[in-house]
Structure 1
Amino acid sequence: MRVLIVGGGVLGTMHAWQAVERGHEVVQLEREPEARGASVRNFGLVWVGGRAAGAELGTALRARELWERIGQRVPGLGFRANGSLTVLRTPLELAVGEETAARSDAAERGLALLDPAEARALNPALRGDLLGALWCARDAAVEPRVAQPALRAALEATGRYTFLPGREVRTVGQGVVRDDQGVEHRGDVVVLCTGAALGGLVREIAGVVPVRRVRLQMMQTEPLDEPLTTSVADGDSLRYYPAYRGAALDALNREQPQPEVARAHAMQLLVVRRLDGGLTIGDTHGYDEPFPFDTQDAPYDHLVEVAESVLGGPLPRIARRWAGVYAQCADTSRVVHRDQVEPGVWLVTGPGGRGMTCSPAIGFDTAEEIGL
């Protein structure tokens, strides 16, 4: 078949990967010179441990395997199985870790509860006070700023893939896409991976999609002068990921409220070391549109304070700050919104914060459903 993919982000590119792997020809169109949405404004985390039981966890585990396989073939992704440590610094946070590690699916998730000495043996940079840490051996990371170009280079080497940047799609029909340069592209299947762009063409074709938009703020430091051997999360991430729900989390939420700025911006601390040594740090969650057009300092100040308390020392200078918007299914129990909006035309969007983690498996499932 000839597959037309609209959208140059990680979700669209993983659909392209699946189609080419199955022997098909792919033309991928992107309205920007390069993807500039959530696909490059994230941590690059392949985050398994905190996923909801059922379809979400199953998708994340399959995606983790696919990321590793693809990473072996495309070294430019910067894939590394570095795992993660969720630092537990209060008795209530430690209780959530104990409850989570005792569950029957902890081994499947790669979760284990560590004492402070064991946590520091894995990641010596954790010099702040802690009572323990929840280790996830299945978590991994890639480099979000270079992942799509690396994947595209590997796809182009097959001779069955064409990337067309700077092409905004104006009309879509069965087996045909017309771009803003008046060029008509023909194929057998069209897959729309338009991310958080849910108006315009998407609304015209699919109506109002049951997907909401979420805004985040993040930052990156200059290189840290020592390795950060794992990704790192703080206790507030326990409030955010569904795997930790239970009686102990209820007690944490009731008896240890978040600081006001963290609560107001739905914050957690996540820290990932980039291959150049810099630290990507975040994040916030904003759900009410219209979103602000500027970034706010208070969340950044809070993240710096928490990160420094976890690491037990000052961070390197903040080199970059940014905001981004991603698409999340309104029903957050759904991994992705996938719908055949016209004969031969599929819309795939709304994975939320799972997009980087789950995109390889989402692309695989779409290919299976379409019959590629």
Structure 2
Amino acid sequence: MRILIVGGGVLGTMHAWQAVERGHEVVQLDRELEARGASVRNFGLVWVGGRASGPELATALRARELWERIGAQVPELGFRPNGSLTVVRTEAELAVAREVAQGEEAADRGYKLLDAAETRALNPALGGEYLGALWCDRDAAVEPRTAQPALREYLTATGRYTWLPGREVRGLGEHGVIDQTGEWHGGDVVVLCTGAALGGLVRELAGDLPVRRVRLQMAQTEPLGTTLTTSVADGDSLRYYPAYRGPALDRLNDTQPQPEIAAEHRMQLLMVQRRDGGLTIGDTHEYEEPFGFDVTEEPYDHLNAVALDLLGRPLPRIVRRWAGVYAQCADRDQVVHRARVGGNAWLVTGPGGRGMTCSPAIAEETAAEIGF
């Protein structure tokens, strides 16, 4: 078949990957010249440990397998099975980590509770003061700024893939789409992976979607000067991922409220080291539109203070800051919104902060559901 993919982010590119792997011809269009949305404005985390029990965890675990397999074929993805440490600094945070490390799904998630000495031995860059960490060996990382170009280069070499940037799809027909230049692109199946762009043609085809948009702030630093052997999260991350829900988390929220700035911006500290040695750090969460248009400094001051506690030194100088917006299913138990919007057209959107983690498995499920 000839498959048309509308959207050049990681979700669209993974749908293209699945189609090419199945022997189909693929044309992928994007309104930008290069992906500029949430697919590049993220940590590059393949984050399994914090996922909700049930379909979300199953999707993340399958995606983790696929990422490793694809990473072996496309080294420029920068895939590395580095795991993660959620570092805890208080007894209340430690209690949450201990509860989940002793839970029924601990082995499936690759959890192990480490004391401070074990944490430092695993990641010597963590030279600060803390009580221990929740280790998750299922977590991994890729390079978000190079992932899509690397995947496209590999797909192009198959001879069955065409990349058409700078093409905004304006209309959907019975067997294809028309772009802003008036050019018609025929296809047996159309898959729209348009990310947080939920207006225009998407609204015309699908109406009001059960999807909301979320804004976040992030940054990248100069090289750390040493190796951060794992991805790192702070104890506030326990508040934001469904895997950690339980009595211990309830006690944490009751007895240890977040600092004012962290609570206002719904913050956690995540740190992932890039191949150049710099750190991607963040993040914040803004749910109510219209979103602010500026990038504010208070969250970065908070992140630096937390990083000082964990690293034992301030963060390196920040060299770039940015905000990003992603689409998230309003029903958080739903991994992705997948719906038929035409005779041969499907819309796939709303994975939210799970997009980079889960996109390979979401695309695999789309291929199975549609039958391409």
Question: TM-score per shorter chain, which class?
Answer: over 0.9
User: How far apart are the structure 2 equivalents of 1:292 and 1:281?
Assistant: 20
Within 5 A, what are the aligned runs for 1:219-368?
219-368=219-368
The superposition leaves residues 237-273 of structure 1 with CA deviations (integer Å, 9 ceiling, x where unpaired) of 0000000000000000000000011001110000000
CA distance in 1, matches of 2:221, 2:269: 14
Give the TM-score taking structure 1 as reference length. 0.99
| Contact 2:9–2:35 (8 Å) recurs in 1 | yes
Q: Deviations over 1:303-325 (max 9, x none)?
A: 11111211011211100000000
Distance 2:308 2:355 in 1: 28
Aligned to 1:16: 16
SS for the counterpart of 1:316 is coil
- Alpha-carbon deviations, 1:260-287, whole Å to 9, x = none? 1100111000000001100000000000
Find the aligned partners of 2:183 and 2:75 in 1 and give their Cα distance.
34
**RMSD over equivalenced CA pairs, Å:** 0.5
Counterpart CA distance in 2 for 1:119 and 1:214 is: 32
Q: List runs of 5+ in structure 2 lacking aligned partners.
A: none
The aligned counterpart of 2:87 is 87
The amino acid of 2:324's aligned partner reads G
What is aligned with 1:166? 166
Instruction: Map Cα deviations across residues 156-204 of structure 1 (whole Å, 9 max, x no partner).
Output: 0000000000000100123210000110000100000000000111000
Aligned position for 1:112: 112
In structure 2, the residue matched to 1:214 is: 214
Matches of 1:174 and 1:265, distance apart in 2: 45
TM-score by length of 2: 0.99
SS of equivalent to 2:266: coil
Aligned counterparts of 1:84 and 1:208: Cα–Cα separation in 2:
37
Partner letter of residue 128 of structure 1?
G
C-alpha separation between the residues in 1 aligned to 2:288 and 2:111? 34
Hey, what does 1:184 align to over in structure 2?
Answer: 184
124-133 or 34-43, which deviates more: 124-133
More displaced 10-residue stretch of structure 1: 353-362 or 126-135: 126-135
What is the DSSP-based 3-state SS (H/G/I as helix, E as strand, rest coil) of the residue aligned with 2:290? coil
Contact 1:174–1:189 at 8 Å: present in 2 too?
no
Task: Give, as a single letter, the amino acid of the residue that structure 2 aligns with 1:224.
Answer: L
Q: Give per-residue Cα distances to partners, 1:276-305, cap 9 Å, x unaligned.
A: 100000000000000011111111111111
Between the aligned partners of 1:87 and 1:174, the Cα distance in structure 2 is 53
- Alpha-carbon distance in 2 for matches of 1:342, 1:308: 52
Partner of 2:129: 129
For residue 272 of structure 1, what is the amino acid of its counterpart?
Answer: V
Consecutive unaligned residues of structure 1, counting only runs of 5 or more, are: none
Distance 2:318 2:141 in 1: 21
Map 1:27-106 to 2 at 5 A: 27-106=27-106
**1 CA distance for matches of 2:263 and 2:370?**
42
CA distance in 2, matches of 1:174, 1:325: 31
The one-letter amino acid paired with 1:146 is T
Deviation at 1:343, TM superposition (A): 1.1
Whether contact under 8 Å (2:130, 2:309) holds in the other structure is: no
Q: CA deviation at 1:104?
A: 1.0
2:239–2:249 CA contact under 8 A, matched in 1: yes
Structure 1 residue runs of 4 or more that deviate by more than 4 Å after TM superposition: none
Is the 1:40–1:144 Cα contact (8 Å) retained in structure 2?
yes
SS at match of 1:190: strand
Local SS of the residue matching 1:306: helix
Q: How much has 1:342 moved relative to structure 2?
A: 1.1
Partners of 1:364 and 1:189 in 2: CA distance: 15
Counterpart of 2:223 in 1: which secondary structure? coil
**Partner of 1:146: helix, strand, or coil?**
helix
Q: Which amino acid aligns with 1:42?
A: N
